[in-house]
A = this chain, B = another copy of it.
Amino acid sequence: MNEIKIIESGEKFSHSTVGNLHGFEGKQFVKDATGATSCEISFGTLASGQSVPFFHSHRENEENYIILSGAGRFQVDDDVFDIAEGSVVRVAVNCDRNLKCTSDVPMTYICIQAKEGSLGGYTMTDAEITERESRL
């Protein structure tokens, strides 16, 4: 089972780790450790042939699933489609969802919950390039 550990934090940032993603085991929700206020990120893995034991729906939060390794199938209400490493699946509120690993290797994924319709500006409409001495 991968654990989450807080490494360091400051006024404007936090750094946690869930450890190695290759061979990731278990399920970890990171918001409590990172102090995030915009989304809840979770890491999960499913063994070959395994699906999440239940369908679920969300009231206010869109979910975005990112498949990191392996492959499988995803169901939204009664629609089913194939997913694989590199897939990004957006799921709206008020519908049922589940996923299953169909590859010989485990399917590892990230799920991001964030409030549907909440994003205003993004990328360069919210960001500005700044000048600072690099210590990297």
Chain A residues engaging chain B, CB cutoff 8 angstroms: 2, 7-8, 10-22, 29-31, 33-42, 51, 54-62, 64, 66, 68-69, 72-81, 83-92, 94-100, 110, 112-123, 126-132, 134-136
Contact A135 B36 (CB under 8 A): no
On whether A57 and B135 interact (CB within 8 A), knowing A13-B92, A16-B88, A64-B34, the answer reads: no
**Min CB gap A14→B, angstroms:** 5
CB A115 to nearest CB in B, in angstroms, measures 5
Most chain B beta-carbon contacts within 10 A, residue among A74, A95, A112 = A112
Q: How far is the CA of A82 from the CA of B14 in the complex (A)?
A: 12
B122 and A57: CB pair below 8 A?
Answer: no
Q: How far is the CA of A19 from the CA of B100 in the complex (A)?
A: 19
